[in-house]
Amino acid sequence: MKKRPSMNIGAAILFGIFGLLFFVLMVRFVTIQVTGEAEGKVLASQAAKKYIKSHILEAHRGTIFDGKGEVIAEDTSAYTLVAILDPSITSDPKKPKHVTDPEKTAKVLAKYLDMKESDIYDRLNKKGPYQVEFGAAGRDLSHQMMLDIKEEDIPGVTFRKEAKRFYPNGSFASHLIGFAQKKTDDEGDSTTVGKMGVEASFNDVLKGKDGSVSYKSDVWGYLLPNSDEHVTPPEDGDDLYLTIDKKIQTFLEEAMNEVQKKYKPKKMFAIVSDPKTGKILAMSQRPTFHPDTREGLLDNWTNIIVEDTYEPGSTMKSFSLAAAVNEGKFNPNETYESGKYYVENVPNPIRDHNGGEGWGTITFLEGVQRSSNVAFANLLDKIGFKKYENYLHDFGFGEATDVGLPNEASGSILYHYPIEKYTTIFGQGTTVTPLQMIQAESAIANDGKMMKPYVISKIVDPNTKKVIKETKPEVSGSPITKETAIKTREYLETTVTSEHGTGQKFAIEGYRVGGKSGSGQIPDPSNGRYMVGKENYLFSFMGMAPIDDPQLIVYVGVQQPELEPTEIGSDPVSAVFNPVMQNSLKYLNIKPQEKVSLKKQSLPETRDMSVEEAKKELEKAGVTPVVVGNGSQVVKQLPQGGNATLEGERVVIKTDGDITIPDMKGWSVRDVFKVANIAGLKINMVGNGYAFSQNIQPGIKVKKDEPLVVNFKTPEEAAAPKEKEEEQLN
């Protein structure tokens, strides 16, 4: 057949196209061979990425110990569950390395994981991924659980081992220690990072330096025979030794747990320190959290001991007293008129906590024991405004203690106008931190030398055990003399031992305790005014023991506890202070004194004695007799004979005549109950604190079952009602 010309032309065009494509392909091939690059990427490096595996060797994070070497935080092994789904990893069908039966695998894993069997099955039945994990349920598995799952012999299930931060004591100084957790970067590498407390502020010390390992692998990631490994070993982090004593911290945590359950305060904090060195032996707060699970963390991220400021209330009077003694302006036997004190050009007076009625003309020592605001206003006049301001700075207020923890607050000295100066001397207006209070108290407890608080004892190399850095006790100031400190301690002891003392609840059998209680006012965040109500205070006590040579300071603050009608703010505070102080002193082998003047062995029984004879016997025993009735012979006594009692405590005796009751203003709830009980009256208590008024006048005859109404007020409620206090501050 004769070929058409058009067919020859078409064939020529196709030949040309295929020839051109072949030419381009050959040029591309030669170019890649010569340059080793494709699309700007080095092919050798891409191959290396695929066949050369590289892994981070994570450094062992430093262990945190207490002062005696007990572990508080450490790294431990944890496992992440991985299920391989890709069948290509299996080379021998008889020994599969991937999940072959998703349904059976899900059923077995559901026995161990906190995850529904159906959810596990859905993950195992996915098409496409090489492997899958199981979220939080499959992470942080224990070594024992890993072994148990392995014994099930499930194809395709494997584990990835990694370090996990472990806190063996649970909720234990949690805001001080903080926590550390995994952080993953953009390339998928993870490191452990401290997020709070010591874990955060000393992260660079604890974390160490990660190493790495690289090797050539096959397509499945296994090490090729005769392949070299390139290893850069990690450098482990250094160990931290805290000043915390695990035993004392445990005493503190247990006492705070009990108070938290019973009184449900909004906040609570407590510190135990060694005044000789400044070491913090224990510190905790509520709300707290569990550093392993983070349970409770959202309730309060803040370390309130370090970061929060507040008005301390009457605990501030400890330092005001010390300043007056140091200046030679405090004469314990000098008298003043209690009740009210007028500041020039301020219409509303400073009042004592019984509504400004006071206790008449009393000594300054009794004013300290009764926590009289008027006493301290008079002392400020004796000291002078400028000198007292100098003492505030000398005691470290207005400046951070530099304890080495994150976000430490410095507080604020409110000392501009005269009224602010007077309120500051008894603990209102000026704000502080618990650490500042502990630091200042050490000057009184440590013979005038104020010790800087610290929580890190030393930093140690974990491999050589060499001490890299050690904290030495540091004197942060000497605001008062040794003689002043001794005298101040003696005066503070009387707040616990005196019949007038506001610190009677903090007496501890066998030990001489001295200190000062307080009821700090709380600003209402909604309007900036002080909150009102019997529970809306920060109740606190800061005390030391033994008073002649203090070995411990314990400072406890309880904010807005839920109190019973018969309870006062000192009840939840003493429920922490007393057991912690007593147990810690015994633990430190500080033996109780054989005879302490605070207690009497036995109370005499005065029933059937004449009133005059009974009063003499009771006074001889060191207690204060209170007569109910106008008869001549005693028919009943409270407390009964034979009971141990506080020196100076009120003992109520009932006579055989008509029943009358005494003036009970300023009395404690306990003493008022004694009178109501022995007189057979139906008591109705209103408010909280100390007796402020009573419906039955002293000396008036009463009948059995007659109602007795007694109004109680806390010192702050009586001294400064909200509106009047605001007017003064303006």
Q: Is the pLDDT of residue 346 over 80?
A: yes
The stretch 632-651 carries a mean pLDDT of 80
Q: Looking at residue 415, what is its pLDDT?
A: 95
Q: Are 575 and 608 found together in one domain?
A: no
Distance, CA of 594 to CA of 417 (rounded, Å): 51
The stretch 181-185 carries a mean pLDDT of 75
Beta carbons of 418 and 344 less than 8 angstroms apart: yes
Q: Is the pLDDT of residue 624 over 50?
A: yes
Q: Are 494 and 615 found together in one domain?
A: no
The alpha carbon of 162 is separated from its chain's Cα centroid by a whole number of angstroms, namely: 31
Q: Looking at residue 730, what is its pLDDT?
A: 40
Q: What is the pLDDT of residues 263-285, one digit of tens each?
A: 999 999 999 999 999 999 999 99
Ranges of beta strands (E only) in 324-462 are 335-337, 340-341, 350-351, 361-363, 450-451, 456-460
Q: Looking at residue 716, what is its pLDDT?
A: 53
Half-sphere exposure in the Cβ direction for 135 (13 Å, CA): 8
Distance, CA of 656 to CA of 611 (rounded, Å): 10
Q: Are 275 and 259 found together in one domain?
A: yes
Distance, CA of 651 to CA of 710 (rounded, Å): 19
Domain containing 518 equals 246-587
Q: Are 390 and 291 found together in one domain?
A: yes
Q: Are 293 and 370 found together in one domain?
A: yes
Q: Looking at residue 36, what is its pLDDT?
A: 57
Give the residue carrying structure tokens 């141990």: 644
Peptide bond into 639 cis (omega under 30): yes
Residue that terminates a domain, selected from 174, 208, 240: 240
Confidence of residue 682 (pLDDT cuts 50, 70, 90): confident
Higher-pLDDT residue of 729, 413: 413
Residue that terminates a domain, selected from 240, 273, 299: 240
Answer yes or no: is 593 within a domain: no
Ranges of H-type helices in 399-535: 418-425, 434-445, 482-497
CA nearest neighbour of 149 among 75, 85, 79: 79
Q: Are 287 and 347 found together in one domain?
A: yes
521 beta partners: 537
Q: Is the pLDDT of residue 657 over 90?
A: no
Q: Are 611 and 564 found together in one domain?
A: no
What does the longest C-alpha to C-alpha distance in the chain come to? Answer: 159
The stretch 106-122 carries a mean pLDDT of 90
Q: Looking at residue 54, what is its pLDDT?
A: 56
Beta carbons of 246 and 72 less than 8 angstroms apart: yes
> Which is the catalytic residue, given 314, 338, 372, 498?
314
Q: Looking at residue 220, what is its pLDDT?
A: 47
DSSP 8-state class, residue 532: -
Answer yes or no: is 724 within a domain: no
Q: Looking at residue 313, what is its pLDDT?
A: 95
Q: Looking at residue 235, what is its pLDDT?
A: 86
636 beta partners: 654
Q: What is the pLDDT of residues 398-450, one digit of tens each?
A: 999 999 898 999 999 999 999 999 999 999 999 999 999 999 999 999 999 99
Sequence-separated (6 or more) residues with CB below 8 Å from residue 334? 363, 364
The structure tokens listed for 107 are 């059923």
CATH of the domain at 615: 3.30.10.20
Answer yes or no: is 206 within a domain: yes
Q: Residue 724, by phi and psi: left (phi above 0), alpha (psi -120 to 50) or beta?
A: alpha
Answer yes or no: is 726 within a domain: no
CATH of the domain at 535: 3.40.710.10
Q: What is the pLDDT of residues 444-489, one digit of tens each?
A: 999 999 999 999 999 999 999 999 999 999 999 999 999 999 999 9
Indicate if 517 belongs to the active site: no
Answer yes or no: is 577 within a domain: yes
Answer yes or no: is 725 within a domain: no
Distance, CA of 26 to CA of 20 (rounded, Å): 10
CA nearest neighbour of 249 among 281, 291, 273, 286: 281
Q: Is the pLDDT of residue 218 over 60?
A: no
Residue that terminates a domain, selected from 208, 223, 240: 240
Q: Are 344 and 476 found together in one domain?
A: yes
Q: Are 195 and 282 found together in one domain?
A: no
Cα angle, residue 280 at apex, residues 278 and 282 outer, rounded to 5°? 155
Q: Are 143 and 13 found together in one domain?
A: no
CATH of the domain at 137: 3.90.1310.10
Q: Is the pLDDT of residue 32 over 90?
A: no
Q: Are 577 and 622 found together in one domain?
A: no
Give the residue carrying structure tokens 């000393």: 202
Ranges of H-type helices in 36-135: 43-51, 102-109, 117-124
Amino acid of residue 688:
N
CA nearest neighbour of 324 among 243, 381, 393, 409: 381
Q: What is the pLDDT of residues 286-322, one digit of tens each?
A: 999 999 888 999 888 899 999 999 999 999 999 999 9
Q: What is the pLDDT of residues 490-534, one digit of tens each?
A: 999 999 999 889 999 999 998 999 999 999 999 888 887 888 888
Answer yes or no: is 320 within a domain: yes
Torsion of CA 448, 452, 457, 458, to 10 degrees: -120
Residue 271: Cβ-neighbour burial (10 angstroms; 0-12, 13-18, 19+): buried
The stretch 134-157 carries a mean pLDDT of 87
Q: What is the mean pLDDT of the chain?
A: 86
Cα angle, residue 508 at apex, residues 442 and 254 outer, rounded to 5°? 80
Q: Is the pLDDT of residue 3 over 70?
A: no
The stretch 652-680 carries a mean pLDDT of 85
Confidence of residue 710 (pLDDT cuts 50, 70, 90): confident
75 beta partners: 165
Distance, CA of 220 to CA of 225 (rounded, Å): 14
Other beta carbons within 10 angstroms of residue 612's beta carbon come to: 9
362 beta partners: 336
Q: Looking at residue 718, what is its pLDDT?
A: 61
Concatenate the DSSP letters of all residues of 239-257 into one string: EEEES--HHHHHHHHHHHH
Give the residue carrying structure tokens 């003047």: 597
How far the first Cα of the chain sits from its last, in Å, is: 121
Ranges of H-type helices in 463-522: 482-497
Confidence of residue 131 (pLDDT cuts 50, 70, 90): confident
541 beta partners: 517, 556
Share of the chain above pLDDT 70, in %: 87
Q: Are 9 and 89 found together in one domain?
A: no
Peptide bond into 546 cis (omega under 30): yes
Answer yes or no: is 728 within a domain: no
Q: Looking at residue 224, what is its pLDDT?
A: 46
Q: Is the pLDDT of residue 203 over 90?
A: yes
Q: How many domains does the chain have?
A: 4
Confidence of residue 598 (pLDDT cuts 50, 70, 90): very low
Q: Looking at residue 646, what is its pLDDT?
A: 67
Task: Spell out the long-range contacts of 638-641 with Cβ–Cβ below 8 A and sequence spacing 24 or more.
Answer: 638/674, 638/677, 638/678, 639/603, 639/674, 640/603, 640/605, 641/602, 641/603, 641/604, 641/605, 641/606, 641/607
